[in-house]
């Protein structure tokens, strides 16, 4: 089922039953990946794009010295490499942070959609452009926010993105990452991430036990993060 994808898209624009049908036929094939497995290899030229249906995945690059930077996190309902339909060659890898179930969208089928379904094409285009907006927000957080603020920002963002696809419970959500993986998101060391996390716990804005984050005080968390959700485009309007 491509439910999460539909929840994701319908948060931003109306999608007709016909368009939903087209997507269902596009994304017939399924695959499963275990945690730590690459969903997409850097340098590959995939003939299909991948929609995450279950789990959490990350785009990443590894540098010469072996350090890794995660450039994006993806949740159910996200295309993890729709841009590959345009770029052809993957300039980064995508790895599962958890066991992942995905759907595959053939590039031939996508091309056909771009020829016959202009509105649906714009919606798909939109979803790549929202990726870009998130990238920009991450750049701002990395460049000009404190690590504490950056971490708070990531939590705020993940909460809202997971809420869209119905993966939150109250103010809690599953965050089955290790601290090392989170450090690779922020671009800091494991030790420093650990200490930064503790400052947020000490401020009583969140807890993170049993791989589950609970936001205890959204307003304070958002204030620490200087979080403004505009960039997530959680607004349904004609595109």
Burial of 117 per CB tally in 10 Å (0-12, 13-18, 19+): middle
| 118 CB-near residues (< 8 Å, 6+ apart) | none
Bridge partner residues of 104 (DSSP):
29, 50
Long-range CB pairs of 180-185, under 8 A, 24+ apart, other chains included: 181/58, 181/70, 181/97, 182/151, 182/154, 184/58, 184/60, 184/68, 184/69, 184/70, 185/58, 185/70, 185/73, 185/154
Stretch in the footprint of DNA (CB under 7 A) among 107-115, 153-161, 186-194, 225-233? 186-194
**Least Å from the CB of residue 14 to a second copy:** 14
Size, binding site for DNA by CB under 7 A = 16
Is 201:217 a contact under the CB 8 Å cutoff? Answer: no
Is 115 among the residues that bind a second copy (CB under 8 A)?
Answer: yes
| Residue 174 binding DNA, by CB under 7 A | no
Decide which of DNA, a second copy, none touches 14; Cβ closer than 5 to 8 Å per partner kind.
none
Out of 6, 10, 71, 199, name the contact with a second copy by CB under 8 A: 71
CB of 208 to DNA, least distance (A): 8
What is d(CA 34, CA 54) in angstroms, rounded to the nearest whole number?
Answer: 11
| Residue 189 touches a second copy, criterion: CB under 8 A | no
Asked whether position 190 contacts DNA by CB under 7 A, the answer is yes
Residue 53 in tokens: 């249906």
Of 24-32, 86-94, 171-179, 205-213, the window that binds a second copy (rule: CB under 8 A) is: 86-94
34 near DNA (CB under 7 A): no
Q: Which stretch binds DNA (CB under 7 A): 17-25, 93-101, 117-125, 193-201?
A: 193-201
CB of residue 213 vs a second copy: minimum separation in angstroms? 22
CA dist 49 and 88 (Å) reads 10
The set of residues, in sequence order, having a beta carbon less than 8 Å from that of 45 and lying 6+ positions away, is 88, 89, 90
Q: Which residues bind a second copy (CB under 8 A)?
A: 43, 59, 61, 63-64, 67-69, 71-72, 83, 86-89, 91-92, 111, 114-115, 118, 121-122, 125-126, 128-133, 135-140, 142-145, 186-187, 226, 230-231, 233, 235, 237, 239
Q: Which residues bind DNA (CB under 7 A)?
A: 146-147, 178-180, 187-192, 194-198
């Amino acid at each position: 089922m491509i439910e999460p994808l539909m929840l994701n898209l319908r948060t931003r624009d109306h999608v007709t039953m016909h368009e939903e049908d087209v997507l269902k036929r596009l994304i017939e094939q399924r695959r499963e990946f275990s945690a730590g497995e690459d969903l997409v290899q850097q340098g590959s030229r995939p003939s299909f794009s991948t929609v995450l249906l279950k789990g959490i995945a990350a785009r990443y690059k590894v540098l010469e010295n072996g350090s890794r930077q995660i450039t994006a996190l993806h949740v159910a309902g996200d295309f993890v490499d729709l841009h590959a339909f345009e770029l052809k060659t993957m300039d980064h890898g995508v790895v599962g942070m958890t066991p992942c179930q995905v759907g595959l969208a053939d590039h031939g089928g996508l091309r056909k959609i771009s020829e016959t379904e202009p509105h649906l094409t714009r919606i798909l285009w939109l979803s790549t452009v929202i990726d870009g907006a998130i990238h920009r927000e991450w750049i701002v957080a990395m460049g000009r926010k404190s690590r504490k603020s950056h971490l708070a920002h990531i939590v705020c963002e993940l909460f809202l993105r997971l809420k869209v696809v119905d993966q939150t419970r109250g103010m809690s959500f599953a965050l089955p990452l290790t601290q090392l993986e989170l450090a690779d998101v922020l671009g800091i060391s494991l030790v420093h991430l650990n200490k930064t996390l503790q400052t947020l716990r000490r401020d009583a804005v969140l807890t993170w036990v049993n791989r589950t984050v609970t936001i205890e005080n959204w307003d304070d968390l958002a204030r620490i993060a200087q979080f403004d959700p505009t960039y997530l485009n959680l607004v349904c309007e004609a595109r």
